[in-house]
Amino acid sequence: MPMEVKFLGHVDYEPTYAAMQAFTAGRNESTPDVLWVCEHAPVYTQGLAGRQEHIFNPGTIPVVATNRGGQVTYHGPGQVVAYPLLDLKRAGYFVKEYVYRIEEAVIRTLLHFGVTGHRVAGAPGIYVRLDDPAGHALLPQRPVKRGAYPDKKDPNFSGLGKIAALGIKVSRNCTYHGVALNVAMDLEPYSRINPCGYVGLQTVDLSTMSAFASWQEVAEVFSQKLAVSLDP
């Protein structure tokens, strides 16, 4: 049975982060999996590998250090943030498969709104062609093996914009943190950081790709796709 979905609405980041940690620390083998879906007030979050130089002009936007993987990203209004709180041991798959399933849910959600999402080798997350958002031509820089991200220092983002970012944490086989899908945002805060640690990486949303939908509509489709994709 697909996991339960809870829509949290517009919530601040830090209390939500603390609640995820508390939920994960307190769960046991019989605790049901759940998917939290929300929208955050403006915030930069820094992963465990994060370097301060990737946040060069935060201004009044707070910066929160977290225990997820990855570098810096931005959360703000107009973005659907999804936190799967999932027991991987019970689900029966490992972290690489988990990441693949999340990305697959993003791709299927984008397709629902007429946009084609792509994976890039060496850079988890989902990207779109800037010149042809609906085109289905395969990227030359796509991963060559399902779930495999080769160790590449310089992923090729030529002609692409990033539309969804992943950052996860696994504790005692249980996941928290998650994925953010950009719907209709003020994208200016991304210009003050190197998104995910990549200089010059362009960030886009559905609206800049001429796919117009409300936050609620995208949240409902995305949560449904995630619940199905993550189901064992």
What is the spatial distance between Cα 102 and Cα 136, in angstroms, rounded to a whole number? Answer: 20
Is 38 an annotated catalytic residue? no
Catalytic residue (choose from 196, 206, 227, 230): 196
Query: CB within 8 A of 188, min separation 6: which ones?
Result: none
Token pair recorded at residue 73: 């990203």
Supply the residues annotated as catalytic: 196
